[in-house]
Structure 1
Amino acid sequence: MTDTPAYTPPKVWTWDSESGGKFASINRPIAGPTHDKDLPVGKHPLQLHSLATPNGVKVTVMLEELLAAGYGADYDAWLINIQEGDQFSSGFVDVNPNSKIPALFDKQTGVRVFESGAILLYLAEKFRAFLPRDLAVRTETLNWLFWLQGSAPYLGGGFGHFYAYAPEKFEYPINRFAMEAKRQLDVLDQRLEDSEYLGGDDYSIADMATAPWYGALVKGLVYDAAEFLDVESYAHVNRWANDVMNRPAYRKGAMVNKAWGEPAGQLRERHDADDFKTQTWDKIKPADAD
């Protein structure tokens, strides 16, 4: 039992911009731009507008993996500060009407791509890389890509929100989403007991999509919930996470569009491979910056 009075929903819901916890200011119940502002355009064909959240990291890891493998996937990565409402600019909404990062524009083809899974699939098809051509293996890889796209909202918007970000802790939603997070970890653990990577023998976009969420979870990089969820018990997920997240291209991709943490690990914009040596925040931070 609890002393908290039961909540009775009103007949018609209305938006209270002051409620909703730490990230309430980045959401609203309508779509469209709030202000006119064009997006910057760099020299490369691929223009990425993003932030190093798990969904953003998926794409920068893919781009760095493509470059490491010798594909011509040169890109400009521009920082979208969601706390300041950059995602609601007219330029960003033109690329992603859903006002969520990441968003990609390919100058070479004139194609806009939004939703992180769609961006991974677009890049895999464009460069014919990290997505098997064999029908059966390709389908298994896509099974896990779409599994992640459907499952991650329960981890982030469900467990992560109520456990780490909600203005108050409530037992019911934390228990509900902790159960689901652990069920999902068990799904992954059983798969990875039988397979080196999610799609099969080869590293693919399914692994790139999943590691920034569930790999980061078991390595204690999100929500400070590793002990609470007993993540050490998922041995096969941990083996896979160490393998994927220690790849040099993954480590680079995780730095791009990052605006928090150790300054040496933040590459807020990325326009050239040498930026990892010369443009990290510890090297370019203005004297009056936070």
Structure 2
Amino acid sequence: MIDVYSWPTPNGHKVHIMLEECGQRLGRDWQVHPIDIGAGDQFQADFLRISPNNKIPALVDPHGPDGRPISLFESGAILLYLAAKFGKFLPKSDRQKFEVLQWLMFQMGGVGPLLGQAHHFRVYAPEKIDYAVQRYTKEAQRLYGVMNRRLEASPYLGGRSYSVADIAVFPWLRSWQNQGIAWADYPALKAWFDRIGARPAVQRAVQVLADARKPLTDDRAKAALFGAQQYARR
């Protein structure tokens, strides 16, 4: 059984979705170990051994590529590992594969970090800095525009088929309101978002640990995520 160390965040949801889409069912083929990032679980020694960057998700597969256990951190790497393991959601031909991978990298390098900053400065920052709010809100809107234009011409981000690119991006757009987005400005992207959200595997996956998540309002949680505890030398 695959062990997933996770929390109900966009990066956690990526892996939950991928496993369910690959036909792996929670409790039968994989199990989740909650890492409460507001309580500081990500700094525990056992977790740092498999995720040295103290970020979720991480995965341990007892049946790795050579038959031995393998542990992985970084959600994009985990998606590619699972795509190779199960032979799904990453095309075989070089041309189609790299078309998908460019959009996966677009999520890893742009959508995740910059939408995360928009969310932070609009919702969690202890003081409202207009420059930061405007900068990251406009960048969020720009990225939504890039994806909208792509989906005006293609049914999926990576091309004609559903892929790891769609799985990686979808969870990040679920907090669109906190990113300063009006869906009416991005009709093709909204149609894609609704289509992905209607998939049964996606619906199952976004419920994983959903009941455990708490609002990040107390000082302890903020210190773990944004303050001294996050930046302590280890």
Answer yes or no: same fold by TM over 0.5: yes
Q: Answer whether contact 1:78 1:257 (CA < 8 A) is retained.
A: no
1:139 to 90, 98, 114: 98
Cα deviations by residue, 1:219-252 (Å, 9 ceiling, x for unpaired): x4xx2x5xx4323210011000000011000000
Cα deviations by residue, 1:2-49 (Å, 9 ceiling, x for unpaired): xxxxxxxxxxxxxxxxxxxxxxxxxxxxxxxxxxxxxxxxxx1x1100
Supply the distance in 2 between the matched residues of 1:144 and 1:217 (Cα, whole angstroms): 20
TM superposition shift of 1:260: 3.3
Supply the distance in 1 between the matched residues of 2:41 and 2:80 (Cα, whole angstroms): 25
TM superposition shift of 1:190: 0.5
Q: Which amino acid aligns with 1:51?
A: W
Cα deviations by residue, 1:23-79 (Å, 9 ceiling, x for unpaired): xxxxxxxxxxxxxxxxxxxxx1x11000010000000000111117x9xx9111111
Supply the distance in 2 between the matched residues of 1:141 and 1:257 (Cα, whole angstroms): 29
**SS of match in other structure, 2:23:** helix
The equivalent residue for 1:114 is 73
Supply the distance in 1 between the matched residues of 2:195 and 2:183 (Cα, whole angstroms): 16
**SS of match in other structure, 2:72:** strand
The equivalent residue for 2:23 is 67
2:9 to 37, 49, 53: 53
Q: Answer whether contact 1:48 1:76 (CA < 8 A) is retained.
A: yes
Supply the distance in 1 between the matched residues of 2:56 and 2:15 (Cα, whole angstroms): 10
Higher helix share: 2
Q: Which amino acid aligns with 1:65?
A: E
TM-score for both structures, normalised by structure 2: 0.84
By relative contact order (CA 8 Å, sep 6+), the higher-ranking structure is 2
TM superposition shift of 1:148: 0.1
1:159 to 118, 126, 134: 118
The equivalent residue for 2:109 is 150
The equivalent residue for 2:140 is 181
1:208 aligns with 2:167: yes
TM superposition shift of 1:179: 1.2
1:102 to 40, 45, 57: 57
Cα deviations by residue, 1:122-176 (Å, 9 ceiling, x for unpaired): 00011111111011111010000010000111110x2111001111212110111
1:195 to 151, 154, 169: 154
TM superposition shift of 1:90: 1.2
Q: How many residues align?
A: 206
1:237 to 189, 200, 215: 189
* Identity across matched positions, percent: 42
Question: RMSD of the TM alignment (CA)?
Answer: 1.5
Instruction: Tell me which structure has the larger Cα radius of gyration.
Output: 1
**SS of match in other structure, 2:38:** helix
Structure 1: stretches of 5+ with no match in the other structure: 1-43, 262-290
Cα deviations by residue, 1:249-277 (Å, 9 ceiling, x for unpaired): 0000001122138xxxxxxxxxxxxxxxx
Supply the distance in 1 between the matched residues of 2:133 and 2:156 (Cα, whole angstroms): 30
The equivalent residue for 2:213 is 260
The equivalent residue for 1:249 is 201
TM-score for both structures, normalised by structure 1: 0.68
More deviation, 74-83/54-63: 74-83
